[in-house]
Structures are given as structure tokens and as C-alpha cells.
Structure 1
Amino acid sequence: MEMQHCDYFDYWGRGTEVTVSSETTVSPTLFPLVQCTSGSDDKITVGCLAHDFYPKSLTFQWTDASGTSMTSEQYPTAERNSKYTGVSVVKVSKSDWDSRRSLDCSVTHPGGQKSVKVQNNAPIPPKITLLSVPSGDTQTLVCTIENVRPNEYSVKWKKDANSVNGFSTYESSSASSAVSVLEVKKTDWDSKAVYTCEVTHKQQTYTKKTSKAPITVTLNRPSPKDIFRNNQAKLECIVTGQSETDVNEIKIFWQIDGQNVTDNIAESTTQKIKTSTMTRSRTEWQRVNKVRCSAVRDGMTEVNQDLTVQLGDGRKPSVTVHVLPEEVINKGDSAEVTLVCLVSSPVQQDYYIAWSEYIGQETRDYNDGISSLPQKTQHGYLATSVYTTTKEKWNRLKFKCSVWPAGSNNSTTVREVSKAQDVSPLSFALSCTDDAVEEDEFSSLWSTTSSFIFLFISSFVYSVIFSLLKMKRQ
């Protein structure tokens, strides 16, 4: 049987294209291609053009500044006058392109290897920071400008939409940054006008705005109740504003020891209040030194609230529980009895103090008292927690004060008090039992010198306790 020519293709396949020509090999000329602006999807297309090469065979490779290969698209080559042209492109996000600033395109061709650097020639935008500092009867606005050179920028200030004069601009000795300062009258600042620092750099304008913050930020310490009951610390950052619009536009950010935190955070908004709650395990919390909550909104100076934790040196404190019989101000079971837990240490350290009521077997149903931060005394530092109960409960229950030092992984110090114990009529009556795992070196010293110490600090402690009681009633 005679075999047809097409049968060879069926048997061998399409084969490999072979170009036979008398033309000599010509290596390509490379040109970088950069899209001027990003598209609707915030992508930048970067290309590499290989021009006037022969033969047709050519391969593109893309790498970033670190040498990592990148995925690219290679278009079919086009022929003109027996020479070929080829194009390869990569797509990157605008943020990646701004941070990388350049990519490397290389080609492999029979005429040899060539490469070209595709650079981002867009000007690096200056970094602008706007701070507001009160100074007597004026408010000083400080606009810092980085990544600029002399004669390449200009600064303007605006109050709302109107230009403002009377500011001063100073350049650094390195000539790569500058500071512009505007002093504002307190009356103008209190009017909540929006002030703008406007920087023009290489025909691009950059702005930062500020105004008297129409909000307040409160950062609450974790509740000892949550720490003891759930072994976790919950911190609340509460932002209040003059209008719902102000509050809804606020964004709340958290930092722990200078590092941004985004996990285990919940947020809620009710009318003119926005609350952000950050939760950390007890193990995580014992290593924390500083927490920052920041409220940010366009046209407003960033408002920060910091919480510093005094971790101490790990030593266990001396803990005693006392009764204030003077607080039994009424007759009958409705009368109140106030208990005071005193925590003393020679070093400054924060404490988490929780109270529990029980009869018979101990319970993990803890309650928060009214606690104060450690105060300096002649003998060290003293923290107090005040807990009020009814006379009816005092007659039949036991009360326990549990103290955990911040930053410590040691066992909690526990003291117990009840009516069954003998209560002395002294101004602070020692009426506690020691349920702590071990007695620290300060306990015996405290016991032997308690009379002297109580006489010395009685006035100080009374003022602290009654201030806390007054706050509670208010």
C-alpha cells in the first residue's frame, strides 16, 4: 500500500520547527516597559521588549531584587524584515512595585544572554508626620517632612480651606528632612478647625490634617476577676465622641511593647461609644510591659492611650486582710462591712487582687474590689483593694483575698478573713489566716513590726481607702 505524505505526521507527530536561512545570528536589544498608572484593580504591568533579534528562539526570565524568580507572561514573537520582536510582562500590586522599586528582565538567545533592569522612576513620596503640642495659651503644630531635598519641595499651611501665614520651616543639617512649625491661638484650636500641612514635592501634593480631637480615649486595665476565673486578661479601649459620625469613622489600633497586634480583638459600637477589647492569656500577659491603644481618623490628630505594667523583680509581696468596723453604719442585716486587702513590697510592682466569698469548700467565683495602684511609702510600695459586703454575709461566710503579682508565674498569695476570727478594735485589725503556698521572707518581718507600720501609714491608707469608697458611691 502506498503511504500518503500526511501519514508521516500521524506516525511521527508534528516534529520540531526548523528554520533554514542564510541570515546570521543577531542578539536582541532590550527595552524596559512600565505602565504609567495602576488600573482599576490596583495592578502595575511591567514589561520587557526584545527587539530585532534572529533567530526566533528566545526565552524571558524575571527576578526581583533578591534574585527570586517571578511568574511572567510571554507573548508570541512578531516578524518584520526577517527580524523578530518579543514581549514579556509581569503584573505586581502597586504597593509591591513601590516597595521593590526595580525588577530584572533577562533573555536567553542563541546570540547570547542579555539583561535589563526595569526601574520604578516615580518619585519616592516624602514621609509626613503632623503633631500637635499644647504650649501655654497656644497650640503648636509640628509638621515633619522626610525624604526631601532642598529646592525640591514647598510647604503650605491651611486652616479649613484658607491659607495661613506666619509659620516657620527649618531644614536639617543632612538636608534630607525638614520641619515646619505653626502656632495656633487656643481659641482657634478650640473651635475645632481643621489645619492642613500641605507639601508639594516633584509636582505631587501630599497632605496631613489635624484638629482638636473631638474624642476621648480610655484604656482600662484587665479585670482581676477574669484573670483568676478564666486565666486571661481582657483590656478595653473605649472611645467616646461628640457625634455618632465621629465615632463611626474612628479606627482603633493596638500595640504591645511597640509591636502591632491584630488577633483576639473584638469591637462594638453603641451610639457615641466605640469599644475595642483585646484578650491575652495569663501566660502571655505576664510578659507584657506596655500596651498602647490608638484612635485614628482622617482630619484628626491620632489619640494614644498607654498602659505601663510594673513587673517588679518577681518577689512575693506581704499580704494582709483587715476589717473596718467603722463602716458598719446601720443596724440590722442591711448594714455594710468593708474589708481591706493591703499588699506591700519593697519594690514597685503591679498586682491583680480578686475577692471571693464562700462557705465550706472554696469556690472560683471571684469578684473585683476597688483597687488602687501601688503608692510609694517610706518602707516601699503599698497597694490596696477595698471590698464591701453585707452584715448578713459577714456573719456566715468566709472571705478570701487573692493576689497575683504582674509578671510573676509563682503561686498566688492568698489571705482569708471571717467573723469567726477574733477581731481587735485597732484602727486596722489583723484578722487573717495564711493560705499561701509558702511564707515569703517579708511575712515574719511584717508580723513583728506591724504595729509600728500601721501607726506610721494609717493616715495614708485611710485617705486612699476612703477615696476609693467615695469613687464607688459616686
Structure 2
Amino acid sequence: MFSVAVLLLLLAAGSGVNCEQLTQPESLTVRPGQPLTIRCQVSYSVSSYWTAWIRQPEGHTLEWIGQIYTGNKLMKDSLSSKFSLAVDGSSKAVTLQGQNMQPGDSAVYYCARIDRFNFDYWGKGTVVTVSDSAVQGPNVFPLVQCGSGTGEVTIGCMATGFTPASLTFKWEFGGSELANAVQYPTSKKNNQYTGVSQIRVRRQDWDTQKPFTCSAVHAGGTAKADVFKQVVVVVHKLPALSILISETEGSQVVSFGCFAADFSPKDYTITWLRNGKKIDPSESSTSSEGQKNETATFYNAASYIQVKENHWKDDGTNITCRFASSKEQVDAHLTYGGGCVEPTSTKLEIDILPISLETMYLENNADLVCKVHSSDPVEVKWFNESGEVLSTPKSPSSNTYIATASITYDEWSKGMSWYCEASIKDSIEVPTRKDFVKNNGRNRVPPSVYLLPPVDDLSCTNMTLTCFVKDFYPADILVHWLVDNLTIDGSALYSHKTTNVIENGDLFSTYGQLTFSSDGWKDGRVFRCEVYHMSMDSKNQPIVKLITEKSSGNVNIINMNLGPSTCLPQ
């Protein structure tokens, strides 16, 4: 019998620079009781090197089956009646044959070359599924990285809901098949499988906005999705423009304020004119981000000017605020008529900032923040659903009034509601109100979490770990990273990001990625991905996945570097 100690020695050995090739099919499906044949095509002489076959069932460690070279072979005793090996020196092929395959034989099967008791080169692995389940075809969704960049673009597609596991991705562009795609091992949940493929494409091809077609070929049918560069539509919208005036008794100057609300894009100029001629005043202006939707972000801006009293209080004097974008302009006027200037009613716009999920999940509480922009003094308050005042007002800055209210994780997770009210001080008008409702909807679904090791590429100076979080509800989720049980926040050694959630039917998925120097991977540090979601059974306890360079093994899994298919224009 082949020694277990020798097997462990082989598994512990490192791999070298990838020069030899071992090519095997990506996936196979057989029914219970049927035979299995996997052919491994190699680039080296099969009479000079041993070639081994190894399998890894889902959730288990690697298992050596046997090894062969021309004229000799070794087999694991307990598997010798199940499997046989054959070698063909003329075609440089090594074949694994299995008899009476059963569901327990489902695994990823690898061929690997042996040199001086080392597994130095590996095939990519063949996913073998033994099942008599009904065939169900995949649903395919496009994936594309966010951000512009200047080099190659990483795109991908995700196939979900298929069974059995055998599935092959194919990519086409301009009628030609692309050969440099990467296909990740499938994952299983509730007897259905999910698979992901990615490919790097040239920037000049991507910029043509022509589609890259991803096809998921499966026994249940072929599903396709087109991935292409989306045209960013620049929305041009002029603002609602108004002028307010402020006079102080005894002062020799008059102050004017010009307010532009809800315009896009952000590029603009505000110019002041007196009787049609440009004024060169000491002027201050501010701008802030306003409402954001799926197509554009709308902005608010304000500009202020002071004019000598005798330059204003002359019948017929006209003060103009001119807002100009790259395409259009709009004016607002105020004319002196010798009497009082009628006050202008100002509509208060309330902005409720998104709650910090990191603070909520890690500290069990977070602040609700309500902001109001106004040239008039404003009172801003938070109330709970019972009408009790909760807020702590902050001192105004640049005509921005803020109130905060601290809420607990229990209140937030139970789906309570709050509202913010704003009113001009000493005004008799009804306050403006905006509600914040945490609606958690239907029953919560906990996520499945997969922590994937980085690419084993000696030429890479940086490594990327991917924490793949899938099939959860509701969408509020936090992916948090620790290294050697220490937080990485503020560290220049690590960068991390989490994609926007991807909606798949009634459930959501996301990716969290941690990038760092390859030296940090090789020195044995322990990387920890913590996933927080309100569906956890224990109060606010995360799902935790750990990985080190030693624990990742010699399995040929390639890191995913994908983002959601929709990137909002900034």
C-alpha cells in the first residue's frame, strides 16, 4: 500500500513556475451505476514522470487515488477496485476510469505530475457529479467591474439555479470565441449549483460598447448574457433659482443670497449683475450633493454677495443672479421699488444620510443624520414613531443645519420608523417632515459565505482574497476584514472594498475583496472575513471564515475580481 506519510510529503511540496501543461475536461456528469472516464492530456513524457490522480469531495480534504507511468503504477488499496489507470505514451495521455460510480464519488478530480516526490504541476480539475436528479438549466447574469481605469477590463457572468453541476462557460466577441476565460468551481446550496466565469478584455474592445456574449452550456439548456459598456447618460437639468435679500438697520451694505436647487451636472458658474453689468464683489459660494437616483446625481448650490446700500436703494435698480451650465443658463431677478421687498417663502429640503452599517453591526448602534440647507435659521429635530423628540442638534455650518439621533441595533433590526422635522425659527408655517422607515419585508434569509484564496502566481506583487456572500435577505450586509485578529482600518498595508449588492430574484449577493502585498500571504498571517447580517440566530453575531497560506492548500482555485453590473455615474 502506498504510504500515507509519502502522500503527505507530496501534498506539502511547493509548486514551481508553470511551464508544463495538464489539460482535463472542466466537468462531467454521470448517473449512479455508470462508469467514469477522465482523460488528462500532458505536455511531458509519460515514460519519464509519474502522473497521479487525486480527488477532493466537497467539504473534504484531498484523497490520493493512484499514480502511473509507462510500465508501472501504484493504487490506494481501498480504491483499487473502484478505479483503474491507463497511460498512452504516443498521445501523452493518462486516463482515469471509474466503475459503478455513486453519489458519494462526486468530487473534483485532479491529475498532477510527480517529480522527486513533489506534485509540481496540476491540471485545473474536473468537476464530477454523480446524480439522477432532474436536469435544471441555469439563469445567467452579467457582471462588470466598477470604476474606469486605463488598462484591461475584467468582466464576468454568474450562472445560478442549475443541476447537475456540469456546466461550461464560453465567451464570444464579434463572432469569435475567446480563449482566455477563467471558470471557477461550482458551489452547491439546496441541491442547486452556482458557477462564475471571468475574462479580461482589451480596453479598446470594451470602449466600442459592443457586447461580449457569455454562454453557460448545460444539459438543461444553454443560457446567454451580454456584457457591454453602458453609456453614461449625462442629465442636463437647470435649477430652481431664487434670490433672497437681507438688510440690517444702520448698516451701509445689503446682502443677497442666490440659491440653486436640484441641477445636474455639477459643473456650473454663478454670476451677479447690477442693471445688466457684471459686479466684481467679495463673494462666497458653496455647493453640496443632493438627490441621487439611478441615472444622475442632482446638486444644490448657493452664492452670496454684498452691495453698498446706495447702489441698491435706487428705484428700478435690478440685481440678477445668473446660473450657467455648459449648455444653458437661467436668471433670477430682484428689483428695488422704493418700498419693502416682499419676503420669499423658502421650501426646506430635508436630506437623510444613509446609516453606517459598519457602526451599526460592530457597535450595536448608529446615528440617524438629518441635514437641511437654508439661509434662514432652522430648527431640525428627530422623532420616534411615538412622537418623542430624540435628536441632538449641531451648530450650523455654511447654512447647513444637522440633527442626529442614536438608534440601537434592536430598534433598527425590528423595523421601527423615525421622522425628521425642519422648520424656520419663529415661523408659523407647518414644519417640513421626512420619514425614515426600516422595512425588513418578509422572512430573513442568512447568507452563504465562501472565502476564496488568491491566485497562485509568482509574478504577482499583490494578492487578493475574495469573500463571496450569496443568497441573503434583506440587502443590509457588512463584510469586515481582520488580519491576525487585528482590524485593518487605517492601515496602508491593506485595501478592501465591497461591491453593491446583486439582486437575484428575491435574494441578494455581494463580493468583499482584500488586497495586500504577496509578502503578507507568504509569512503565515491569518486572514479573517466576518459577515454581519440581521438574519443571524445569535444577536448580531457574524459568520466567520479563516484562511492562511498554509490552509489554502494546493487546490487550483482562482481569485474572483468582479463587481456588480450597474455602476452609478459619479
**TM-score category, normalised to shorter length:** 0.3 to 0.5
Superposition TM-score, scaled by structure 2 size:
0.32
Q: By percentage of residues, which structure has more helix? A: 1
Q: TM-score, normalised by structure 1?
A: 0.37
